[in-house]
């Protein structure tokens, strides 16, 4: 119940993404929030006030000139009696009204009258999002202090087009609301760099050396640190999952590129090296695709050692105050983790068993052991998100912050 006692004024604008507002209401309420909805006329073309009212257990406000709702200047009361105004979806039309101070319906009037924080989740066709007018309005709203989440890349429900314009998912929006209303943040004022995913080491233009890392654990840790207030730079190898919201993500492919990106993020207070970096690369990758030759043996691959990013950071002149490494092992997990702790110059090694039967690599769950100079702490089987939250809190207790 992370939003217990919090009052959210949810404005639902008219777009196909309005159907996501139903799940969003459920996600906010299961966290304890009191959700009061406003629906534009356009929104009512996609979802009904009856459905929104049933899920929110609240009266649904739709009209500016409602005799019943405006007896006590209802739009002003709505604008002030909340902890946050959330607009999801935020259409191009409503963003334009907000940027230019227009107030011709209940939603735009409330947005002009509120003195509470405002978070919007844009959703529209990719061409509409990239239009110069929308981008001007987006810039104005950012300058005015409006908080944003999305839009995301993906396929549009109404047209099948792909591009940037999808509304963020309900869980992402709920997490951002939690972030905005959670009060003091223990890692505020601190910088963190996190690595995630695999690296791809090219053999030729179409083949590479890699591993099964999905990036789920590293991305979750980066997001968890950001929710505690850290200024996070995520250095991600090639993954198929979305970038976490609210932090900076640098995309790399090879181990050498990842090392350079991590070093460019220094100085930092916290380093969490989660990425499964390939230990070796092909000494000289072929410029053209290597072809099979009938009757000939496969060509030999001469390997060269990749840079050890964790060791580099652990012994760097600008070493972060807290260095955390991951050890993906298939045997002797604790012994190998302790050896890695000393060899790499880390403060903590998060060790796990990634044998094929565990399903950890690429899966959604993890069972880790925290190995430090003080001993070993074994955690139970958890989702990767739960591991991330617990590790972020552990880091906060170890390093502290401004709490701003």
∠ CA(350), CA(195), CA(341), 5° rounding? 35
Instruction: Say whether 279 counts as a known binding-site residue.
Output: yes
Instruction: Say whether 291 counts as a known binding-site residue.
Output: no
Instruction: Say whether 127 counts as a known binding-site residue.
Output: no
Instruction: Say whether 270 counts as a known binding-site residue.
Output: no
Instruction: Say whether 216 counts as a known binding-site residue.
Output: no
Mapped to the 3 state alphabet, what secondary structure does the chain carry? CCCCCCEEEEEECCCHHHHHHHHHHHHHHHCCCEEEEEECCCHHHCCCHHHHHHHHCCCCECCCCCCCCCCCCHHHHHHHCCCEEEEEEECHHHHHHHHHCCCCCHHHHHHHHCCCCEEEEECCCHHHHHCHHHHHHHHHHHHCCCEECCCEEEECCCCCCEEEEECCCHHHHHHHHHHHHCCCCCCCCCEEEEEECECCEEEECCEEECCCCCCHHHHHHHHHHHHCCCEEEEEECCCCCCCCCCCEEEECCCHHHHHHHHHHCCCCCEEEECCECCCEEECCCCCCCCCCCCCCCCCCCCEEECCCHHHHHHCCCCCCCEEEEEEEECCCHHHHHHHHHHHHCCCEEEEEECCHHHCCCCCCEECEEEEECCEEEECCCEEHHHHHHHHHHHHHHHHCCCCC
Instruction: Say whether 191 counts as a known binding-site residue.
Output: no
Instruction: Say whether 260 counts as a known binding-site residue.
Output: no
Instruction: Say whether 289 counts as a known binding-site residue.
Output: yes
Question: Which residues are marked as active site?
Answer: 211
Instruction: Say whether 185 counts as a known binding-site residue.
Output: no
- The annotation places the binding site at 279, 289, 307-310, 326, 340, 344
- The annotation places the binding site for CTP at 279, 289, 307-310, 326, 340, 344
């Amino acid at each position: 119940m992370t939003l217990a006692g919090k009052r959210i004024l949810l404005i639902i604008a008219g777009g196909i993404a309005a159907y996501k507002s139903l799940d969003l209401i459920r996600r906010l309420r299961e966290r304890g929030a009191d959700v009061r909805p406003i629906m534009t006329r356009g929104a009512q073309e996609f979802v009904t006030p009856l459905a929104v009212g049933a899920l929110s257990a609240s009266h649904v406000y739709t009209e500016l000139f409602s005799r019943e709702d405006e007896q006590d200047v209802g739009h002003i009361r709505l604008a002030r009696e909340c902890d946050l105004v959330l607009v999801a979806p935020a259409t191009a039309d409503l963003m334009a009204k907000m940027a230019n101070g227009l107030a011709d319906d209940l939603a735009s009037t409330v947005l002009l009258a509120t003195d509470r924080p405002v978070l919007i989740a844009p959703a529209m066709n990719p061409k509409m999002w990239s239009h110069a007018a929308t981008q001007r309005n987006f810039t104005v709203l950012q300058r005015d202090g409006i908080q944003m989440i999305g839009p995301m890349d993906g396929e549009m429900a109404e047209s099948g087009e792909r591009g940037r314009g999808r509304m963020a998912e309900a869980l992402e929006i709920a997490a951002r609301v939690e972030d905005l209303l959670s009060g003091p943040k223990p890692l505020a004022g601190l910088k963190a760099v996190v690595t995630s995913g695999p690296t791809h080491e090219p053999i030729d233009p179409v083949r590479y050396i890699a591993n099964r890392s999905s990036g789920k654990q590293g991305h979750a840790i980066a997001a968890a640190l950001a929710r505690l207030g850290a200024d996070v730079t995520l250095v991600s190898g090639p993954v198929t999952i979305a970038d976490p919201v609210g932090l900076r993500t640098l995309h790399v492919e090879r181990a050498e590129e990842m090392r350079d990106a991590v070093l460019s993020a220094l100085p930092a207070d916290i380093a969490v090296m989660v990425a499964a970096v390939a230990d070796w690369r092909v000494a000289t990758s072929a410029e053209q695709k290597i072809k099979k030759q009938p009757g000939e043996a496969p060509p030999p691959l001469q390997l060269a050692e990749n840079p050890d990013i964790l060791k580099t950071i652990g012994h760097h002149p600008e070493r972060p105050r807290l260095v955390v490494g991951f050890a993906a092992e298939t045997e002797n997990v604790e012994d190998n983790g302790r050896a890695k702790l000393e060899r790499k110059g880390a403060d903590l090694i998060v060790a796990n068993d990634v044998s094929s039967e565990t399903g950890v690599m690429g899966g959604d769950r993890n069972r880790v052991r925290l190995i430090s100079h003080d001993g070993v702490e074994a955690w139970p089987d958890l989702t990767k998100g739960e591991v991330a939250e617990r590790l972020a809190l552990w880091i906060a207790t170890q390093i502290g912050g401004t709490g701003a």
